[in-house]
Amino acid sequence: EAGVAQSPRYKIIEKRQSVAFWCNPISGHATLYWYQQILGQGPKLLIQFQNNGVVDDSQLPKDRFSAERLKGVDSTLKIQPAKLEDSAVYLCASSDSDRGLGEKLFFGSGTQLSVL
């Protein structure tokens, strides 16, 4: 099956500019996640969607970050304006049940953002 698709692969912007990332999850996966991975750290959840509704956005810096999932499929994550500390890899994931144990997340390859 096709994996989680993300674009662009790399993005370089200057601080205070805006940027958007796109994600297409695995077909049939109702839950979609955006994680932020800063160099040398584990991923951190930014926002979680169930279909097109938000399940958790408690760690999303809402003054500058926004996300939407129209029609419960594709999703976009936007940063406006960007700060230097936003430099990271932004990972999109979708999930399916892992044999009833828990949610098995399937991650895309991410978008590497550099803010100069």
Partner 1 sequence: QQQVKQSPQSLIVQKGGISIINCAYENTAFDYFPWYQQFPGKGPALLIAIRPDVSEKKEGRFTISFNKSAKQFSLHIMDSQPGDSATYFCAASIAGNTGKLIFGQGTTLQVKP
List residues binding partner 1 (CB under 8 A): 4, 31, 33, 40-45, 48, 55-56, 91, 93, 95, 98, 101-110
Shortest Cβ distance from residue 39 to partner 1 (Å)? 11
Any idea what the Cα angle at residue 20 is, between residues 70 and 60, rounded to 5°? Answer: 75
Closest approach, Cβ 103 to partner 1, in A, equals 4
- Beta carbon nearer to partner 1, 27 or 97: 97
Rounded CA-CA distance 88/99 in Å is 32
Smallest gap from residue 16 Cβ to partner 1 (A): 28
- Tell me how far apart the alpha carbons of residues 109 and 76 are, in angstroms, rounded to a whole number: 15
Q: 71 — phi, psi (to 5°)?
A: 60, 15
Residue (20 or 89) nearer to partner 1, CB: 89
* CB nearer to partner 1: pick between 18 and 59: 59
CA distances from 115 to 12, 66, 110 (A): 6, 17, 16
Name the minimum Å distance from CB 116 to partner 1.
21
